[in-house]
Amino acid sequence: MYIYILISGLMVLKNNTRTVLHYPRLDTVMMVEKAIQDADDYLTKSALWRVLPKQVNYQTLSYIIDYLDEIGKIFIGDDRKIVWVWDPEGIKKIKAQKGLRVY
């Protein structure tokens, strides 16, 4: 038996698992990344949602935050504050070292 619950047009609950109906656009993901990077202080998800330059559906923001956390660009602390941890310059330095193979 399948149970479907629509959550603001973004996700459906099917057999107790979330299925995404609509993925965020790349420019929206990049806008959220920039807002996290440029923040003066560490923000919670709701504070970040309020300071975004364009309106974003809260469920879409939640999906983006989950994605950024999964790929290691952000860290979410015990106090639910979001910290930007991605360091592309550091990765370039590591890749440039002789005798080091990065997979």
Angle at 44 between CA 39 and CA 49, to 5 degrees: 75
Q: DSSP string covering 33-95, please?
A: HHHHHH-SS-EEHHHHHHH-SS---HHHHHHHHHHHHHTTSEEE-TT-EEEE---HHHHHHHH
Residue ranges of domains in the chain: 23-96
What pLDDT is stored for residue 4 in this prediction? 40
CATH class of 23-96: mainly alpha
What pLDDT is stored for residue 88 in this prediction? 86
d(CA 42, CA 47): 9
| Contacts within 8 Å (CB) and 24+ apart, 51-54 | 54/28
What pLDDT is stored for residue 101 in this prediction? 65
Q: What is the pTM of this model?
A: 0.73
- pLDDT beneath 70, residues of the chain: 1-18, 99-103
CA 9 to chain centre: 19
Joined tokens for residue 31: 């806008």
